[in-house]
Amino acid sequence: MIQPKDKKDRDTIFSEPLFRSPFYDFFASQETEGHWYNWNGYKSPTILSDEELEYFSIRSTCSVFDITPLNKYRIVGPQAEEFLNKLTVRDVTKQNVATVKYTLWCDQEGFVIDDGTLFRISDNDFRLCSQEKHLPWLIDTSHGFDVEIIDETKHICGISLQGPTAASILRLLGVNGIDNLKPFHLFQTKISNMPIMISRTGFTGDLGYEIFMKNNVANKIIERVWKAGANHGLTAIGYNALNMARIEAGFIVANIDFISSDHAIRPNRCRRPEDLGLGWLVDLNKGFFNGKKAIVNSKKENGTASKIYALEIDGKEPVEGSIIYYNKKEEVGTVTSAIWSPMAKKSIALAQLELGSTNSIMDNLWVEIYALKELQYYKLMKKVTVVKPPFINLARRSACPPFNY
């Protein structure tokens, strides 16, 4: 049995008591130099032991991360498909049972409210997972549809297994069919006679799986997963390691890389799908959906001024939050996420930039950095190159059957 560490003051750093995931005791037992943060009202780890070692478990062996705090909404009923087709930008009528789709939903002005994953469990049964809370909005927009909206966040928990040995661990657990599970597909099965739903999804750009279950089997499941991973380098990780991997994959996060229209105070901070590099998700051939008219009109006007770009930056200095300049003089945007990528061996970043369409501007971009040296800060201007994401592209992410490590 996994025993949690005894830390009486564990929650005193937070202004309000936080929920504890059913996996909390397990992750607390793995803490050596842990740091915790508030994720959607849950106490979640940023670092458990060593950020770099946790990151390399994603890329070299396997990591386990607690995804319980994700908002999870069950949408069921005879008109569930029709409702979700109106709600989201993709054509839900084309989504097969036992598949997962990455999608967006917008307000009536075509500005992105949030992104997330839509699981089609059966013809009239869906689960929508998102970063932000949307229950009141979902209930309001479902008026007139024969559907039921259920907030499963506190009743369904989950873990994410990410890394090259993830499939090997699941084979040891007796998960039949794992070799035939394609990316963005799901199936329901059992581990030691305990029901789970497993999908080949994740937020790392690597081979990975997400496992959902009821709270009452969480402790037994994580114990079996941990035991099976003992000889496969399984490492418990916090958000910081996951964040490094998601930046390498070029994935964006609401209210970090863009401001959700629900949170934006100034109208010019809102973004449409095209501005986020996600115009390919929008199916304009289907019928009405939230924001369709505004998105069509925006395409005629070439969208908003600011868009998200992937960047490679000279040097190794930290650049998150730094300002981007054209010709070292004219401010054109801000870095939203950045790391030194151990895989790409480069400084990489995502940024909101106002560049227009001329290559001359893209070829003359610089980032302003203030670097600390000998107790003094020095201003540096480093060359910026606009690239196409992802920053790394791993064949094992989509290999089916998955490589045997």
pLDDT value of residue 16? 66
Domain assignment of residue 373, yes or no: yes
Write down the residue that tokens 């040097």 correspond to.
315
Same domain, 312 and 382: yes
CB 123 within 8 Å of CB 76: no
- Put simply, whether the predicted model's pTM sits higher than 0.85 gets the answer yes
Q: Which residues of 136-166 are buried (b: 16+ CB within 10 A; e: fewer)?
A: ebbeebbeebebebebbbeebbbbbbbbbbb
Same domain, 76 and 62: no
Same domain, 377 and 320: yes
pLDDT value of residue 86? 97
Is residue 302's pLDDT more than 90?
A: no
Give the domain range for residue 339: 305-399
Q: How far apart are CA 289 and CA 327, in angstroms?
A: 42
Could you tell me the pLDDT band of residue 331, with boundaries at 50, 70 and 90?
Answer: very high
Of 151, 169, 186, which marks where a domain is finished?
A: 151
Is residue 3's pLDDT more than 80?
A: no
Torsion angle of the four alpha carbons 210, 216, 219, 222, in this order, in degrees rounded to the nearest 10: -20
pLDDT tens digits, residue range 363-404? 899 999 998 888 899 999 999 999 999 999 999 999 999 988
Same domain, 224 and 92: no
Domain assignment of residue 167, yes or no: yes
Domain assignment of residue 4, yes or no: no
Q: Is the dihedral of CA 167, 170, 174, 175 positive or negative?
A: negative
The crossing angle, in degrees rounded to 10, of helices 239-248 and 51-60 is 50
Same domain, 98 and 49: no
Same domain, 190 and 324: no
Same domain, 63 and 159: yes
Same domain, 134 and 106: yes
Domain assignment of residue 289, yes or no: no
**CB neighbour list of residue 177: distance below 8 Å, 6 or more residues apart:** 187, 189
Per residue, what are the HEC states of 297-350? Answer: HHHHCCCCCCEEEEEEECCCCCCCCCEEEECCCEEEEEEEEEEEECCCCEEEEE
Domain assignment of residue 175, yes or no: yes
Domain assignment of residue 136, yes or no: yes
pLDDT value of residue 2? 44
**Element containing residue 248 per DSSP (H, E):** helix 239-248
Same domain, 58 and 185: yes
The total number of structural domains that make up the chain = 3
Could you tell me the pLDDT band of residue 11, with boundaries at 50, 70 and 90?
Answer: low
pLDDT value of residue 303? 54
Domain assignment of residue 319, yes or no: yes
Same domain, 227 and 159: yes
* Structure letter (DSSP) for residue 244: H
Same domain, 310 and 392: yes
pLDDT value of residue 13? 56
pLDDT value of residue 7? 44
Is residue 72's pLDDT more than 70?
A: yes
Domain assignment of residue 287, yes or no: no
Alpha-helical segments (H) within 37-127: 51-60, 80-87
Same domain, 223 and 335: no
Of 201, 217, 237, which marks where a domain is finished?
A: 237
Q: Within 10 Å of residue 279's Cβ, how many Cβ atoms?
A: 16
